[in-house]
Structure formats: structure tokens, C-alpha cells
Amino acid sequence: MSQFEILTKYIPLLQEDRIGEWVIDQENDGTAERPIQMPFVHYSETVRHFIEDVYTFAEQHQEMELTRYREILKENGIEGGLNDIENVELSNLNEQCVLALIMGVVRTERFCDGAILSSFKSGAMLKYLERLDCLE
């Protein structure tokens, strides 16, 4: 088993998965009795497991220093928002930088609902995982 298999095993699973969908409150009217719930993304079970495994990998591989994913990306000339990191040329990136891209998307979800969904829908996350698979 390779060190990245905890993540790369998701390549075929995610290609066939529905990933997630936005849940928008259509039932409530915004009154005090029926407040409108903020929209959110309901992720598939596969994606939820993937997110857990990203954190598990980071915990088990402290040498990758993924808690400093922003600095790793910056050191590799990758700055900006989600759109910028989705369009990065991956062919020259090492394992640590690709993992930092993945962590960056997962962490962005905490501040921007739908970041992970966007990354999967654009194909960027799958490209990151495929690059990681090539580096094994």
C-alpha cells in the first residue's frame, strides 16, 4: 500500500459519485415562527469520508506539514482564491504541494460553503488526486 492510497483510493469512487448538492430552504417564509435556514451543501457519504481521510492523512504524516498549507502554496508561487488554485499547472508540483492544494480546498469549505463541491464539479480535485497517484 502506498502512502497516498488513503486519498487516491477515492479516484474511482468520486468519478461515479454525486458529490453533493445545495440545500435551499423552500419551506419557510422568514417569519419569527418559520425562519429561513441558510443554504448549505449536503455532501455524499463518500465525500464526507474523503474529508475525514484528508485530515487523517495530515495527522499521520506530520512531515508533510499540511497545517501550513497556505505557506506551502505560496512557496510554490500559488496564491489567491479557490479559482486560482483550481487552475494551477500540476505537472511540476511535488507531493507536499499537491497535498497542500487538497488541504486548501478542504479548509476553504469552513469559510466558504460549497468550496469542495466547486472543486469536484470543476474537475480540479480529481486532477489533484490523479497527480498524487502519479507521484506514488
Centroid of chain to Cα 85:
11
Cβ-contact 85, 73 below 8 angstroms = yes
CA angle 83, 85, 91 (to 5 degrees): 135
Residue 123 has pLDDT above 70, yes or no: yes
Long-range pairs for 25-28 at CB < 8 Å and ≥24 separation? none
50-102 pLDDT, tens digit each: 999 999 999 999 999 999 999 999 999 998 777 777 888 899 999 999 999 99
Mean of pLDDT values over 107-122: 93
Across the chain, what does the average pLDDT equal? Answer: 93
Q: Does an H or E element contain 104, and which?
A: helix 95-108
Task: Look up the pTM and report it.
Answer: 0.91
Phi and psi torsions of 41, nearest 5°: -100, 130
Output the pLDDT for position 80. 73
